[in-house]
Amino acid sequence: MSIDTQHPLYREFLRDWEDMDNAYRGERIIKELGTRYLPATSGQVADGAGTDSTSKGHKDYLAYKLRAVFPDFVKDGIEAMLGVMHSKPPTILLPEGMEPLRDAVTATGESMTQLLRDINKAQLKESRYGMLVDVEDGGELPYIATYVARTIINWDDGRRGVPLRQTLNLVVLDESEPRRTNEFEWEEEDQFRVLILGQPEENETEGVYRVGVFDEDSSFNEEALTTPNIKGRFPKQIPFVFVNHADLQPDPSEPILLGLSRLSFAVYRLEADYRQSLFMQGQDTLVIVGSAEDEAVRTGAGATLDLPVGGDAKYIGVSSLGIPEQRRALENDRLKAGMFAGRLADNRGTDRESGEAMKTRISAVTATLNTISLTGALALQSVLRIMAEWMGANPEEVIVTPNMDFSDAGTDGQTLVAIIQAKTMGIPLSQKSIHDWMRRKDLTDKTLEEELALIATEKPLGNGAEESEEEEPFVTDVS
């Protein structure tokens, strides 16, 4: 039995997860991967690109790749959406015994609020995440170990079509990473964590949870499995929670922003071709009909070129007819990607966007963010309830409520002036309604009565118009 065997769906989605991660990490990673995202041109291949690192074709490809620009649409889009989703903190209710975990719940010491942000980021990036509840030997407080999509290599939640509740009975996690072998040197070390419920070959729906850690060279040994416990309490299930962008099922779903990553790669390739065309426009070739008397041909101001009678000299170059089309195609792709990434989380619209178009876009964006926020909060709530039950606390007391206010949290002075002007012109809007709106926009946290009481204690702005008219004019002593 090979521990590093991969689930069929893992193999199916692995390339998508890699593409999303590479697009998020940006230009340096994309260019390091070379022809995976930017194939060499046919001319470069003919000149040796891909086969000879000293060839002209290889050098031309390096210059071709260097001139290209990879856009950060994926990263910008994800960061913008995370900013909107976490513009206000979530509400997390816990049993008293779990309060010590609020500010340090993960293996790396992250708070529950930060963990929820990590969950949402993974939902947007790969649309796949995993969380394992574990405890150190003899420990009394569990912690959460987190796993990105590519580290959850195998799983099983039972056979389909049988009249039994699907129960997770196998998870295999790839924990391979560089480890320091001495004072200064590092070496990649393979390690796999196997989580099993019941007997591994029988797809049991109930049984004892056991866990073991193995390296790549060791075969699976059931005797190496142990059952972690807290004060004699054992988990009744595999304490692992899967998270996709819209559900908590073990089977993965396509990354929600995969289309944006593909558009980013398309822009990258078109950027390379466009810049290559511009470069070639400045690389005209001098053609001489007949022979020049001087072998060292010079061109430019102050140079002479002596040709025999009937001779000719001219420059020839690459046609520029296709450049405008390349530029338009590039602008269109950038516009589509920019609208998706840059305005996905922008609920303010633009002057050119009609009210109905903005309403439609905001509705679509809000529906997407609602799904991600609710699913992410449910995942965090589920894993915290596993912890609560393991600790002997009441899991029903764990409640995670995400921020669901995705509108623009602030406002501008122009909007406020317009509201006041509308009121003076007779719009049926009370002073209290205006104040309530200001509270929702975080302009104040006080009640209307508290604001009026504070206003009564203030001096008029500018010390009052009447006082300023009676003051002596300002005179500068120049003596």
Give the Cβ contact number of residue 320 at 10 Å: 11
Q: Kindly report each contact of residues 286-293 with a partner whose C-beta sits within 8 Å and lies 24 or more positions away, as own/partner.
A: 286/313, 286/314, 286/315, 287/313, 287/314, 287/315, 287/316, 288/312, 288/313, 289/313, 289/314
What pTM, to 2 d.p., does this model score? 0.76
Q: Decide if 161 is inside a domain.
A: no
Q: What is the pLDDT of residue 165?
A: 53
| CA nearest neighbour of 275 among 283, 287, 263 | 283
Give CA 218 to chain center in angstroms: 36
What does the alpha-carbon distance between residue 4 and residue 153 come to, in Å, rounded to a whole number? 8
Q: What is the pLDDT of residue 117?
A: 97
Q: Decide if 308 is inside a domain.
A: no
Q: What is the pLDDT of residue 171?
A: 96
The domain of 436 spans 412-465
Last residue of one domain, picked from the residues 50, 68, 86:
68
Last residue of one domain, picked from the residues 6, 37, 68:
68
Last residue of one domain, picked from the residues 12, 38, 68:
68
Q: Decide if 37 is inside a domain.
A: yes
H helical segments located in 200-343? 258-281, 323-342
What does the alpha-carbon distance between residue 408 and residue 425 come to, in Å, rounded to a whole number? 27
Residue the block writes with tokens 């290599």:
153
What does the alpha-carbon distance between residue 128 and residue 120 come to, in Å, rounded to a whole number? 10
Q: Decide if 367 is inside a domain.
A: no
CA atoms within 13 A of residue 402's CA, in its CB half-sphere? 25
Q: Decide if 107 is inside a domain.
A: no
| pLDDT tens, the chain, 479 aa long | 588 899 999 999 999 999 999 999 999 999 999 999 999 999 899 999 989 889 999 999 999 999 999 998 899 889 988 988 998 899 999 999 999 999 999 999 999 999 999 999 999 999 999 999 999 887 889 999 999 999 999 999 876 655 555 689 999 999 999 998 888 999 999 999 999 997 655 555 567 899 999 986 667 888 889 999 888 888 888 999 999 999 999 999 999 999 899 999 999 998 888 888 777 776 666 677 766 555 667 666 666 667 777 777 776 666 666 677 777 777 777 777 766 654 544 444 444 444 444 444 445 556 688 899 999 999 999 999 999 999 999 999 999 999 988 765 445 566 777 788 777 877 788 888 888 878 777 778 888 888 888 888 887 765 544 444 444 444 444 44
What does the alpha-carbon distance between residue 311 and residue 308 come to, in Å, rounded to a whole number? 5
Amino acid sitting at position 202: E
- Tokens representing 390? 């393991």
Name the β-bridge partners of 286.
315
Q: Decide if 43 is inside a domain.
A: yes
Number of domains, the chain: 2
Give CA 22 to chain center in angstroms: 11
Q: Decide if 172 is inside a domain.
A: no
| CA nearest neighbour of 119 among 244, 23, 9, 303 | 244
Q: What is the pLDDT of residue 134?
A: 94
Residue the block writes with tokens 């946290």:
445
| CA nearest neighbour of 207 among 242, 233, 168, 241 | 168
| Secondary structure string (H, E, C) spanning 178-233 | EEECCCCCEEEECCEEEEEECCCCCCCCCCCEEEEEECCCCCCCHHHCECCCECCE
Q: Decide if 301 is inside a domain.
A: no
Give, for 400, the enclosing helix (H) or strand (E). Answer: strand 399-401
